């Protein structure tokens, strides 16, 4: 049909009108954000102008409420704390975990202090509050940002219903060392995946409006390099060069800052000789000035005072001086700021403007949370009764948990199990454990409230027709589990093995639960031995002699060196510590009600001697033994490669990658290229695959990794279905912190890899020119 000129005019007018309206909406939104920021800044300045020095310092003080202990005991008595709160000399409290407690303390401020500046209430909301989700490392194995965001939003809903408005999470430290107990709290070894997970969690916590009573202020931690502690030992020294800092450690923090994270937490460790809490280059220069971030930095527990033990500060007053100059705004349980800052100002050793800047940042967060409009907005008893540990939350926990499980091995398609299997042996103390699945950093969960593996399996099958037999085998831990005490591990008790062997003899299949107890990983739980305990390995060996149909269910908070298991066990599921609905989620996978889709966010070593191990390593000058000689970068007693590499994860179906294509083989500034791949489900079941894009920068001003994750997409395919997956590569994709000391893309040649893990072998080549 041929259009008339008048028709064309009408169409143009409509299109222009729509574009104009969209532009007006976008401009209006931007203007609203700017106006809101301006209003908050004006309000902050108004409050600051009314404050005396003691009140200003008070806003920089964070006390423990003694409802829970997450660090060394405080030397401040409860009466003294309460008096300081009433005098307006405290800015925030942590570990106050109920509406009654929060209301009581907020009331003390609002009815007694001169300026009535409301308190912040912080808590370690790490992988849930009362309803627990998988530990963060496990949840990151889903590679699914929407469910990570959803679980964080539920955690925020429950925490805020209990009086909390500030979460000490997410932890965004990159770690490559399985010995470090706190690896369970992050997203693994890769900066890109870590950055995406950080943003998802922040968006889940903070939502799109911090004034909503169901959202809370997030805190990205620990700034910086905490995950690279020497020897994998918590709180230990970090040696890192500038380029590694920018290219590996800082990207998740930069993503968090760009996402508008309300607060950040400094780290316990020193970085190249300077404790992170007193590190001006990190805190004031990079985070606040270069990145122009407007939130506030809180120290970790007593880390300002701990600069004395580092040998960097001579006393608390000196520590306060170093920390405030460096840019640390709030002192958590260190007593350095309350003791030292007033004196330092009066002695003219620090400028009061440093304190004013810190106070402004803290007040800004309080205004963003709406606390000045309603100090009791998080003190709703009705919400506390109806929004915590709900059926809906538990259902989401189950869904997140099963999406976090990684199928490491499935020889001869032993999995999924048939629900008509006549005799199933469930073996291992962890299988009947209702507490270990809750993991470390467990919020306010009721101990022993998880669904155990044994319960999950019994619920999944008709027990009238399927015989389920359980044997404990060997214990993992000995004695009481305690957050603040060392967990004793069973090193030599094998007494339960004969009974387990008898049970295994008569079973069609054995489901063997092994791994770590809840508090074997987490803060201060570093280990030199990351293999299975000797009794657990002996249990597997004994069962394997009488029944080789073994499905190993790993429960752990860190990568384990399980080379012996990997060689012999026909099927291995990595289930981490999955949270409240653990047993149900594992059973969903075992019996095929859900097809596993998880991928490892961290490499599993063959031996602890390989640690730290990570996929995006450098090539070295002698990467191979092409000449058949000994003189190359290797171990003489073990392979260089990971047992299970970053990105690895199997499915109950199979995927075939083919036909990598590029729309062009070179691009320049302002342009981009598209690279596509065909992926086909070649199995008999519907499944999801995480399609991963890696790039190698062949020649750089600095040596570059053998490959780096640059993008990924989750694709769902029916049996026999094919899809083309396309990625876009532009100048930003290939940027890094170069020898010029800036983020930029360098001209040169590149190789692209696409596949289902970091061992992706489907390749293409392209070049970039500025």
CB count within 10 Å of CB 396 equals: 18
For residues 300 and 303, give the distance between their C-alpha atoms in angstroms, rounded to a whole number: 5
Phi, psi at residue 74, to the nearest 5°?
A: -80, 155
C-alpha angle 501-502-508 in degrees, rounded to nearest 5: 85
pLDDT the model gives residue 485: 87
How many domains does one find in the chain? Answer: 1
- Asked if residue 750 belongs to a domain, the reply is yes
Active-site annotation holds for 300: yes
Give 3-state DSSP helix, strand, coil % of the chain, rounded to 5: 35, 20, 45
For residues 673-687, one letter each, b for 16 or more C-beta atoms within 10 angstroms of the residue's C-beta and e for the rest, the string is: bebbbebbbebeeeb
- Asked if residue 596 belongs to a domain, the reply is no
pLDDT the model gives residue 609: 97
C-alpha angle 127-132-137 in degrees, rounded to nearest 5: 40
88 DSSP assignment: T
Q: Which residues contact 528 (CB under 8 A, 6 or more apart)?
A: 179, 608
- Helices 145-161 and 191-206 sit at what angle, rounded to 10 degrees? 40
List, as one string, the DSSP characters of 262-286: SEEEE-SSEETTEEGGG-HIIIIII
Selection from 584, 740, 715, 708 nearest residue 651 by Cα: 715
Q: Which residues contact 125 (CB under 8 A, 6 or more apart)?
A: 155, 156, 159, 164, 167, 168, 169, 205, 216, 443
Q: What is the CATH number of the domain that holds 731?
A: 2.60.40.10
Catalytic pick from 234, 300, 331, 435? Answer: 300
- Asked if residue 589 belongs to a domain, the reply is no
> Token pair 């950093």 is at which residue?
441
Q: Tell me the HSE value of 317 on the side-chain side, using a 13 A CA sphere.
A: 10
Selection from 298, 361, 375 nearest residue 109 by Cα: 375
- Asked if residue 563 belongs to a domain, the reply is no
pLDDT the model gives residue 16: 38
For residues 577 and 281, give the distance between their C-alpha atoms in angstroms, rounded to a whole number: 37
Domain of 706, in residue numbers: 655-769
pLDDT the model gives residue 23: 41
Instruction: Judge whether 662 and 674 are in contact, CB under 8 Å.
Output: yes
> Token pair 């925020």 is at which residue?
156
- Asked if residue 79 belongs to a domain, the reply is no
* pTM of structure: 0.94
Q: Which residues of the chain fall below pLDDT 50?
A: 1-31, 33, 67, 69, 73-76
For residues 130 and 314, give the distance between their C-alpha atoms in angstroms, rounded to a whole number: 42
Q: Output the six-digit token pair for 393.
A: 């939350």
- Asked if residue 735 belongs to a domain, the reply is yes
> Token pair 């930069």 is at which residue?
254
- Asked if residue 723 belongs to a domain, the reply is yes
- Asked if residue 153 belongs to a domain, the reply is no
Instruction: Judge whether 757 and 648 are in contact, CB under 8 Å.
Output: yes
pLDDT the model gives residue 81: 85
Would the CA dihedral through 10, 13, 16, 17 be positive or negative? negative
List, as one string, the DSSP characters of 300-342: -TTTTTTHHHHTS-SSHHHHHHHHHHHT--BEES--HHHHHHH
Instruction: Judge whether 755 and 657 are in contact, CB under 8 Å.
Output: yes
């Amino acid at each position: 049909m041929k259009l008339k000129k008048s028709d064309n005019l009408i169409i143009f007018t409509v299109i222009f009108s729509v574009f104009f309206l969209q532009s007006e909406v976008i401009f209006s939104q931007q203007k609203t954000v700017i106006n809101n920021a301006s209003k908050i800044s004006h309000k902050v300045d108004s409050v600051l102008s009314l404050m005396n020095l003691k009140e200003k310092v008070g806003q920089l003080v964070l006390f423990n409420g003694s409802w829970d202990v997450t660090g060394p005991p405080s030397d401040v008595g409860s009466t003294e704390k309460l008096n300081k709160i009433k005098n307006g000399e405290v800015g925030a409290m942590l570990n106050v975990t109920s509406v009654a407690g929060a209301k009581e303390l907020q009331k003390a401020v609002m009815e007694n202090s001169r300026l009535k500046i409301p308190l912040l209430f912080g808590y370690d909301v790490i992988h849930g509050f009362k309803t627990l989700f998988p530990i963060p490392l496990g949840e990151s194995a889903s590679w699914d940002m929407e469910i990570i965001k959803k679980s964080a939003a539920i955690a925020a809903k429950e925490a805020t219903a209990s009086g909390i408005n500030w979460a000490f999470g997410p932890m965004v430290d990159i770690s490559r060392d399985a010995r470090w107990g706190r690896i369970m709290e992050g997203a693994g070894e890769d900066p890109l995946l870590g950055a995406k997970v950080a943003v998802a969690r922040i968006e889940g916590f903070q939502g799109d409006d911090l004034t909503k009573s169901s959202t809370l202020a997030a805190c990205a931690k620990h700034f910086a390099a905490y995950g690279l502690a020497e020897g994998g030992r918590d709180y230990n020294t970090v040696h890192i060069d500038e380029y590694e800092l920018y290219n590996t450690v800082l990207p998740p923090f930069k993503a968090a800052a760009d996402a508008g994270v309300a607060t950040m937490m400094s780290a316990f460790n020193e970085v190249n000789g300077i404790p992170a809490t007193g590190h001006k280059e990190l805190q004031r220069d990079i985070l606040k000035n270069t990145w122009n971030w407007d939130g506030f930095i809180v120290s970790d527990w007593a880390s300002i005072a701990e600069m004395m033990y580092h040998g960097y500060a001579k006393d608390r007053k000196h520590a306060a001086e170093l920390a405030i100059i460096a840019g640390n705004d709030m002192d958590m349980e260190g007593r350095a700021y309350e003791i030292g800052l007033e004196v330092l100002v009066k002695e003219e050793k620090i400028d009061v403007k440093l304190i004013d800047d810190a106070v402004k940042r803290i007040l800004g967060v309080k205004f963003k949370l709406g606390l000045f409009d309603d100090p009791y907005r998080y003190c709703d008893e009705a919400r506390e009764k109806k929004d915590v540990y709900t059926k809906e939350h538990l259902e989401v926990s189950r869904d997140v948990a099963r999406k976090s499980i990684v199928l490491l091995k499935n020889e001869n398609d032993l999995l999924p199990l048939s629900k008509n299997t006549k005799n199933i042996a469930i073996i291992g103390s962890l299988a009947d454990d209702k507490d270990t699945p809750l993991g470390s950093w467990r919020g306010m969960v009721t101990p022993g409230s998880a669904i155990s593996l044994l319960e999950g399996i019994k619920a999944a099958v008709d027990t009238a027709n399927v015989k389920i037999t359980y044997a404990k085998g060997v214990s993992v831990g000995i004695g009481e589990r305690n957050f603040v005490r060392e967990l004793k591990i069973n090193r030599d008790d094998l007494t339960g093995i004969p009974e387990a062997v008898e049970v295994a003899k008569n079973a069609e299949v054995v489901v063997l639960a092994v791994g770590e107890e809840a508090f074997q990983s987490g803060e201060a739980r570093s280990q030199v031995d990351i293999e299975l305990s000797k009794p657990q390995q002996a249990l597997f060996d004994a069962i394997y002699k009488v029944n080789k149909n073994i499905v190993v269910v790993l429960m752990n908070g860190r990568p384990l060196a399980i080379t012996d298991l990997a060689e012999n066990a026909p099927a291995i599921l990595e289930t981490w510590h999955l949270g409240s609905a653990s047993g149900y989620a594992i059973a969903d996978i075992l019996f095929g009600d859900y097809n596993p889709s998880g991928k490892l966010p961290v490499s599993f070593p063959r031996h602890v001697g390989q640690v730290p191990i990570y996929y995006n390593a450098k090539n070295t000058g002698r990467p191979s033994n092409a000449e058949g000689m000994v003189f190359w970068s290797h171990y003489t007693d073990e392979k260089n490669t990971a047992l299970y590499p970053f990105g690895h994860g199997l499915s109950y179906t199979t995927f075939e990658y083919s036909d990598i294509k590029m729309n062009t083989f070179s691009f320049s500034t302002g342009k981009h290229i598209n690279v596509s791949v065909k992926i086909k489900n070649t199995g008999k079941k519907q499944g999801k695959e995480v399609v991963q894009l890696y790039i190698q920068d062949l020649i750089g001003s600095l040596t570059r990794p053998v490959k780096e994750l640059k993008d990924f997409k989750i694709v769902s395919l029916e049996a026999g279905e094919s899809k083309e997956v396309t990625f876009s590569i532009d100048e930003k994709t290939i940027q890094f912190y170069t020898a010029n000391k800036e983020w930029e893309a360098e001209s040169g040649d590149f190789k692209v890899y696409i596949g289902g893990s970091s061992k992706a072998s489907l390749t293409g080549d392209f070049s970039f020119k500025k």
